[in-house]
Structures are given as structure tokens and as C-alpha cells.
A and B are shown apart, each in its own frame.
Chain A
């Protein structure tokens, strides 16, 4: 197969370029002329365009100008590429590039961006929303105040409320004029529903003006301490006082009970003079703060360093152990003298066939101290704390990962071994080399040339082998005296998960910073390793 292609290439290269060009032109025309293909193209592009226009419509409605512009440009570009003749490389590359940008680059850039913000519990949105949330939760109902019947009314000056108090007295008020008694109101079931000079709003009308009504606040009297009447559902009203006052001009929050003034000091929350923060705050850019914290705050740094060391050890030992076991088995099963090789090979693949996620879960059950299969059946009732002793837990993780990982190595080693030409080995044998020397000096270097990139990617995979850690030990066992939520077997990625997604105090910013650190470590190790691999190829 491969020789055939080579021949073709040499043949066409030896011919004059004009013929090749003509051939290519003919081919291209042939390809573009197929009516059915063209129809399929039209249909597909039509679908893409329809979706794009639909998306654009929604985006414009929601005033998402930037994303809308991007969608528009990308759609026009795609149409231009596919409707104009030629541009063959672009035609092949466009879908891939779009998916790459959406699913990879955007995610990476966004993670990077979060790593430089204070996005965490209490710093979840922007300042405007933080202010409105603070104001809304500062509304406190006046103690022992009654429930008022309310009808939302309107006159030329705007919305107001028609209020019936529990005694049946009716009054009317507007945001800028306190409640005053009304006579001759139309009553319905003990509640005033209409008054002269005002139009009453129906429930449907209320629904179309919900924002205005939910922010409608009518002072009860001239004294602001009496509170103001608000109606959460448009039918009943209550008196509220606010314990917080926002001064827009000075950009400060004042606690009316204590008189404390909270100002925006650029830390993403209103902060009092003695450093007390008012939550919710908002998201701000904090520069390299998260990275500085990771390496300077003692409670984060010490576990982080331990976790980095264990992560590297875990990934290296996992790759080495699975590789050597896989290689050993591949050599054994590659020997013609071995009987029933097919049967054994199928058996070898079994661990690979189960989802690793599930296997880890099953193993965690089997390694349980007093109920697990390993202790109960295999070891005859021994109570070995496989997963609860810090050292044994690490050993267990490595063993289970060996069990999960060697079939893959076995597969690739078998393939690579079979591609080593027999004559090389024959020649070595003729020169009097012993089997160990043949393996060490010939087979292994030849194998490594093709397997080294796989070993590096396997390292990167194990570096982030979240499933195994999470399902087997959950990062535990934890030291009850340690004072941080990091266990003996936590690797970087499971630590990131704990920082970002467990508990109530989540810190997405710090977790993203950790992700960037992981990326830097894996990238550095991979680059160094690939350089080495190149040297190996040159040796060959």
C-alpha cells in the first residue's frame, strides 16, 4: 500500500509540471461539477445560514452586539469561502478552525481571564447587580406592620397605589407623595379597586409593567422612619424600611442602623474604614493576585507544593510502571513459542474495555478495609487500610492505575514490536549479541522512537487523571490535624476541583490560576521531553 503511493508520487514528480497542473485542474472541475454534491452543499450552507440568522436575530434582540458581529462576520466569511471557486485549503480548514476556536481557544482564553479576576463566592457579578442585590435584601418589613390590600393605579403623573388598610380605610399615594385618604373609592370584597381620577391596572397590565411595579415604593408618611409601602405581587402591600442607603454620587453604602459608611476601595466590594467587606461584591480584575496568593499564602503554598510533587511522582511512576509491564507482556506474547496468544491478548485488553471511571469506583469498593474483596477474600480477612493510610493510599492509586493503564501500553508496544524488521534482529544475532543486549541496544531504542510521543501524552494524561483520584480516594485520606481541605492523594487537578466546585466558599479565580500553573508544568515537561525524543531520532 505504502509503496504504491510512493511510486505514484515519484511518477508524477518526474512528469513536467504542466501536465500535473492540467490533471489537477481537471480533477478540481470534476469535483465541483457534481450536481448532487452542489445540492448538498447548498442545503448544508442554507441550514448554517438559517441558524446564523436566527442566532443573530436573538443576539440583536438581547443587545449582544459583539457576539452578534462575530457571528455575522463568520457567517459571511463561510459563505464567501464556499461560494467562490478555488480556495480549496480554506474549504477544508474552515469547519475545523471554527470548532477549534469555539471549543478550545475560547475555553483556554476564558480560563486565563478568570485566573486574573476575583471571581469567587461573593464576587459573582457586576457592581450594578451587587448594588441592587444589597438594596433588595436590605429591605426589612416594619415589625408588626399589617398587610395592606393594594390596587395599582395610574394617572397622568405615573403609577401609584390604592391602599386599603385592615380597618377598611382607603388611601392613595405615589412615589413622590405620601399616602393620603381617599373618599368615594369603589370597594370590592373589602378592598378598594378604583378611585376617582385614577385608572386601575388589570393584572395583565401589571404583568407588562413588572419592573416599574416591583420598584414602586410609596412613602407611608412624611417621616421616612415610618417606611414605605411596596407591593411584591401587585395585590398586597407591606411597609418596609431599608437598613442600607446607597449614595450614587459618592458611591458609598451607609448602614442606617450603625451609621457605618462602606466605600468602594477598588477591592471588588463595599468596604468599611476598618476593613469589613459587604457581600455580595462584584468581579474585578486583580492582576497576578491569585498567582501571588498561590505561592505566598502559607495555607495554600504548603499543600500546593506537596500536591505538585505528588502529582509529578504519580504521573511519572504511572507511565513508567504501565509502560514496562505493557512492554514485558508484549514481548512475551510476541514470542512464537507461546501457546494461546490470542486468548491471552484478549484477556489483556479487558481492563481497557471497561470505562476507567467505573473501574476506579469498583476498585474503591474492593479495597475497603473491612468489607472489601481484597482484604476479605484474597487476604483472608486481613484489615489492611488500603485507602485510609496516607502511604498505602498512594500505593493503591499507583497499583490501580497500573491495572488500568498497562493494556494500552501493551497494545502500542505489540504494534511497535511487530514493526521492527526481523532482519535487524537476525543480523544482531549473527553478530553474537545476547537477547538482553538485543533488547537494550536495538529493540528498546527502536521502540522508543515511535513510542516516546505516546509516553509523553500518557504523562500529560496522568498528570490530569481526575477520574481515578476522585473515584478511588476522593483525594483522601485527609490529615485531621492539617487544617486544609487537601488530602494525601490529591493531585493538582483534583485540588483545583475542590477549590472551584466543592463547599460553599468557591474560588474560581484561584482555581483558574492553578489551571494555568498546571498548563505551564505540563507544557514545560512535554517540550523538554519532545526535544529529547528528537535526539533519539537522530541517533537512529
Chain B
């Protein structure tokens, strides 16, 4: 009797297993069946923009029947995951990214060029330039980000005309710090770059194909002047490696700093803290205008995508339209890359302020050699601010970078 029960149970076991197995089978068949019948574009998007793209994706599906599968990814991991997964053929068809990734992505052979063709002129010049790497366009830009000078208008009612004027105005306002800019123990060359360009010292020279990595301009005479200026600011205390991003934010939002050199990502915090924020052109300490780096965000096409035609169509004929660019702007509040959307968005005084500064901005170099530059640049600047001999350190920086580029 006992044995019988057991054998029945065993038979039941096998039957249940088989049933579950078949269920699994059926599920699998359904999934792959769908994938084969219509084409699906997999798009990796940073988590903040998923909602903005949802409508665009649905509208595109209605129009063409191509399903757009938006995958929300952690911003910090998108690039690495993409580089690792694209070669296996399992990565996305389209990925959201920044133009300064281009060097690394192209060197790894994971992105394919796209053809903006007649739409070139529809984009802001800086966005279009940044989308080009080594003579090819790889990026469909959707937003431009650059630094600008935030001013606490309750403390200082008028914009500053130069760096010294800014410090004077800030000091006259009687707050703890006239001016803050994010640095830190390892320096922050991105935030100091406007001041560096004011002395006429870009990182690389440029030619018609974009930046020329073989022409390092960092160590020129203007670079040395900038280094000496940095040392003087370190002594005067207007720049300090003690000011990290958090401290800068805290001081400005608490009304203890009159000016803050930062990007659009921090404006929300200042406005929320009740500061009367005005966005000014960056006050120049040198003979030339202070040009910040522009970071251009956009969409990239995977080299290993099996849906290149649909992906190209989605990118060039759809994401480059004013409606979609405006929707993306509304979700993130940074300046759209499409000129028409940018113009509309600039009616907002803050976005307009950043746009005005952005007109002067230069694209951040995307050449892979930049990796070697960043590695030494901040450390050298931090050392100079902290009191090391400016000319020695600056020349050592130029030599190290030249050596690393090879």
C-alpha cells in the first residue's frame, strides 16, 4: 500500500514537472515568436529620461510598428555596460550617452556613425560639432550642458564685469565667501577650464576634423600665465582645494557665498533654498573670454545592432524633431540641442542664461588622449592652488600628458 502511494506520487511528480516544463516552453516560444515577427529597438536610457521618451516611443510604434523597448539604466554604468555588452551582440541598439564618450567608444569599435545630413543646421553649432568625432557623426544630440556663473541677486544686484570685479562685489556684500567653485583634493579642471581659456590656453589645438590630439596646447605661454594666476588665487584664498562640490553647494544655498560657478544640475538646489538666482556670463580673469566646456548629451547607435535601419530612422527622422527634443527638455530642464527647441526653452531666464554662456562654450575634447590629460590635470592644479611652484608644476603637467599620449 505504502509503495503504491509512493509510486503514484512519483508519477504525479513527473507529470507536474512535465507540465511546468511545458509551461516554460510555451512562455519561451511566445517571447521569441514576438521578437521575430516585428522588430524591436532596445534603447538604454538614464532613469530620469525614461518618462520623457515613453510618449515618443509609443508614438513611433504607432507610426511604424517598430516597438521601442526603453531600458532604464544607472547613468554611472551605462557606458561600461555598453562597451562590455555590445561586442556580445546582446547590447542595446541605441544608447543614451555623452559626446565625450565618443573617443573611448570609437576606439573600442562599439558605435556606428550616423548621418545627420541636412539636419546639421537644425542643431546648435556646439552640439553639432561635439557630435562629430574624427570626421564622422556618431551622436544624435538632445541637450547641451555647460557651466555658468550663478549670482545671489539679493546680495549682488549687478553682474560682474571681470573676475576681480566679481571678488570685489562679493567681498562688498559681506558674506563669508565672495565666490565658490567646486574643487577638492584632486582638483577639478572641468570647473577651472573657463579661467584657463581666458588666458588663451586650450588643451589641444583644433583642425577641421575637430580637436587635434597631436597638438598639445596645454603648456603654452598662456598656460603658464594661468598657472601663475592660480597660485595667486590660492594665496588670496579665492580658490581653495578645500571647497568640494558639497561645500560649495552648502555655502551658496545658505546665502554665505555671493557667486557660484556651476552647471544647470545645481540650479534646482539653489532655487529650492530660496536664493534669488541670476545666471551670468563667467567673469574672465584674463585677456580673453572665459569659455566653459560644453558637454553634449545624445543618442548613439550600436555597431553590433541588428536593427540599424530602424535605429537610424528612429534617431534621425524622429528623435531629431522639435516635439521630442522639447519633451526631453521638459523632463530635465537642460538646454535642448535642437536650435528651434532651444530658442523656445530660452524664454526661461535660467535656461536662457545658460544658453547665453553656452554660445561661447567649446565642446569638451572626446579624444581618448583626454583620459591621460584628466589624470594629471586636476592634481597639478590642486598642487598649484595649495602653494606649489606654478611654472614647474605646469611644465611637468605638460610633459606628463605629452608622455602619456605618446
Contacts and interface: CB of A to CB of B under 8 A. Distances in A.
Interface of A: 33, 35, 38, 41-43, 45-47, 49-54, 57-58, 61, 79, 83, 121-122, 124-126, 129-130, 132-134, 136-137, 139-141, 147, 203-204, 206-208, 210-211, 213-214, 231-236, 238, 279-280, 365, 368-371, 387-388, 473-474, 476-478, 480-481, 483, 485, 501, 503-505
Contacts of B86: 125
B49 interface: no
B249 to A, nearest CB: 13
A54 B22 CA distance: 9
9 contacts: A46-B16, A50-B23, A54-B28, A122-B368, A232-B115, A476-B185, A478-B379, A480-B382, A503-B374
Interface stretch (B217-225, B307-315, B333-341): B307-315
A35 B13 CA distance: 11
B347 interface: no
Nearest to A208: B39
Contacts of B23: 50
Contacts of A387: 185
A33 B393 CA distance: 80
B375 interface: yes
B20 interface: yes
Contacts of A41: 13
B165 to A, nearest CB: 26
B375 A503 contact: yes
Contacts of B241: 388
Contacts of B6: 33
B314 to A, nearest CB: 9
A399 B268 CA distance: 38
Contact of A50 (B20, B64, B310): B20
Interface residues of B, number: 82
Nearest to B367: A504
A504 B370 contact: yes
B114 interface: yes
Contacts of B375: 485, 503
B65 A204 contact: yes
Given A234-B309, A370-B242, A480-B380, A51 B317 contact: no
A49 B20 contact: yes
Contacts of B396: 480-481, 483
Contacts of A476: 185-186
Contacts of B112: 133, 136-137
B371 to A, nearest CB: 3
Nearest to B317: A233
Interface of B: 2, 5-6, 9-10, 12-13, 16-17, 19-21, 23-25, 27-29, 32, 38-39, 64-66, 80, 83-84, 86-87, 103-104, 106-110, 112-115, 117-118, 134-136, 185-186, 240-242, 244, 246-247, 303-304, 306-310, 312-313, 316-317, 368, 370-372, 374-376, 379-380, 382-383, 386, 388, 393, 396-397, 400, 403
Contacts of A235: 313, 317
A236 B393 contact: no
Contacts of B65: 203-204, 207
Contact of B379 (A50, A140, A234, A480): A480
Nearest to A124: B108
B115 to A, nearest CB: 5
A61 to B, nearest CB: 6
Given A50-B24, A233-B317, A483 B308 contact: no
Nearest to A211: B306
B115 A388 contact: no
B13 A33 contact: no
Contacts of A147: 117-118
Contacts of B114: 232
A133 B382 CA distance: 39
A233 B135 contact: no
Given A137-B113, A504-B104, 15 more contacts: A49-B17, A53-B21, A57-B32, A83-B13, A122-B107, A124-B87, A141-B115, A147-B118, A211-B308, A232-B309, A232-B312, A368-B242, A477-B185, A480-B376, A485-B375
A61 B32 contact: yes
Contacts of B134: 137
A38 B21 contact: no
A45 B117 contact: no
Given A207-B66, A233-B313, A238 B117 contact: yes
Contacts of A126: 87
A238 B115 contact: yes
Contacts of A46: 16-17, 19-21
B115 A35 contact: no
Q: Which of B29, B108, B312 has the most CB of A within 10 A?
A: B108
Given A213-B309, A505-B371, A54 B27 contact: yes
A52 B66 CA distance: 30
Contact of B28 (A43, A53, A233, A483): A53
B331 to A, nearest CB: 26
B136 A505 contact: no
B306 A370 contact: no
A45 B379 contact: no
Nearest to B394: A480
B303 A129 contact: yes
B24 A232 contact: no
A-B interface, 3 closest residue pairs, ranked by CB to CB distance from nearest: A133-B109, A504-B371, A125-B87
